[in-house]
Structure formats: C-alpha cells, structure tokens
C-alpha cells in the first residue's frame, strides 16, 4: 500500500527549502479548494468563476513553474490517500506534525476516539439526510468518523481558524460528503467565510454570510423566547445530531 503521508511530507518539505512550510501548506489548501470549485467541475473547465480564478492566480504567484507542478503532485497524493483510506485525515496529521507541532494546544482528537464518539452518538439513528454538526471541527475528522456510519447525511462544521476550515472543506469534498463548512466563531457568531460542498451538484462553492445555514440558525442571544424553548419539551424531534 502507498505511504501517502511520507510522500506528502517529502513533497512539501522539499518546497519548504525555499518557502515557509506553513505558507506552502495554506497555499496548497487554497489551490485545492479553487481547483475543485463548482464552476470548474460542472462546466468541465469550459467556464470560469472570475473571483475564484483571481484567488488561484494570486496564490500561485510566488511560485516557479516546477514548484506549482509539485503542489499539483501533492494534491494528487492527498487524493490517492483518500482512495486507499476513505475518511482518513492526512491533512490534519500533517498540520499537527509539521505546522503547529502542538503549539497553542492545536492537537486534534485521535481518530479512534472520533470513531468511538461518532458510534455512541449516531449508531442506531435511522434514515438519511440528518444534519450532523460539529461547532469546533478542526480538520473535520469527527465528521469523517460520522460519515463512516452513514455518509448519506448532511455534514456541518465550524472552525474559527482559516486553515482548519479549509482542511475540513477539502476533506468533505474528497470524501464525497455533502454539507457546509463555516469559517466563523461559533460562540460569538462572527463570520469570516464559508463553503458549500457538493450541495447542488459536485463541487465546492464559496458562500456569503446570508447563504450559510449554520450562521442563519445559530442563536445570536439568549432571548426570553430562547430560554422558554430551551426549557420546554420539543413537539418534534430534532434532526440535527451534534457530535461535540
């Protein structure tokens, strides 16, 4: 079996001889999201989204031609890893081992614990199309574990760190999941950006604040009505399954 993690590490650290490794990793995430833009995929590259094209060109500008090719190969390695190990989190592993190295407490929940938490929360839930939500999703690995149980649900993740939100977005897309990732503060409801993934056909679509289901439905304040509803028994069962 291919050792995709070591291959990805070699590819990115080689580029890191000339560029900052953290910058390379973040640019790889941006390039991936731009490449899998909904317009690119659904038009088979016959149409372009102007803002997406500008972001892509701006991102690759510091790199030479052979370095851009290496970034493309790194993206291919990530795709091969998904083929060999569906719902795995190679992006999160690289991020922890080579970017943050545990600084600021940025360790993601180990995969076996994610699998366990998903199992005790979701096993036995019937049907498809439930909403599975993680308000501090990191690279999205808790939601990937939920997808192992039922990938036909809708998955929603939030993180206040741009890198984490981008990792979750790519993980959703590469594993064929439908849902939304919001780059926002889930406590204050402060919005920075977000993406719909495979929601209206295949592809990643950047969204504005008013297009986000997560932002629209998040409580902005504890009003009297909110307190009353919180203390009462709901007349209809919720279809949102929270993993956090």
Residue pLDDT tens, the chain, 244 long: 479 999 999 999 999 889 999 999 999 999 999 999 999 999 999 999 999 999 999 999 999 999 999 999 999 999 999 999 999 999 999 999 999 876 665 789 999 999 999 999 888 887 888 999 999 999 999 999 999 999 999 999 999 999 999 999 999 999 999 999 999 999 999 999 999 999 999 999 999 999 999 998 865 444 454 355 445 443 333 345 566 5
Count CB atoms within 10 A of the CB of residue 208.
10
Q: Where in the chain is the domain with CATH 3.40.50?
A: 110-242
Count CB atoms within 10 A of the CB of residue 206.
18
pTM confidence score: 0.88
Identify the CATH number of the domain defined by range 110-242. 3.40.50
């Amino acid at each position: 079996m291919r050792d995709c993690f070591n291959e990805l590490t070699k590819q990115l650290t080689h580029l890191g001889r000339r560029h900052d490794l953290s910058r390379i990793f973040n640019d790889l995430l941006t390039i991936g999201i731009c490449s899998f833009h909904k317009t690119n995929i659904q038009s088979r590259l016959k149409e372009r989204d102007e803002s997406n094209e500008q972001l892509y060109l701006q991102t690759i500008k510091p790199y030479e031609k052979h370095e851009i090719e290496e970034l493309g190969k790194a993206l291919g390695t990530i795709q091969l890893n998904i083929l060999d190990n569906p719902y795995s989190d190679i992006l999160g592993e690289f991020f922890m081992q080579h970017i943050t190295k545990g600084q600021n407490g940025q360790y993601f929940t180990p995969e076996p614990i994610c699998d366990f938490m998903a199992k005790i929360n979701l096993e036995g839930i019937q049907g498809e199309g439930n909403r599975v939500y993680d308000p501090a999703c990191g690279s999205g690995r808790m939601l990937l574990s939920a997808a192992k149980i039922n990938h036909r649900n809708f998955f929603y993740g939030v993180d206040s760190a741009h890198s984490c939100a981008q990792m979750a977005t790519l993980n959703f897309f590469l594993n064929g999941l439908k849902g939304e990732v919001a780059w926002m503060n889930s406590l204050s409801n402060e919005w920075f950006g977000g993406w719909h993934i495979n929601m209206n056909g295949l592809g990643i679509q950047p969204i504005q604040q008013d297009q986000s289901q997560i932002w629209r439905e998040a409580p902005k304040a504890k009003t009297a009505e909110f307190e009353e509803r919180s203390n009462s028994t709901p007349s209809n069962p919720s279809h949102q399954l929270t993993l956090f």
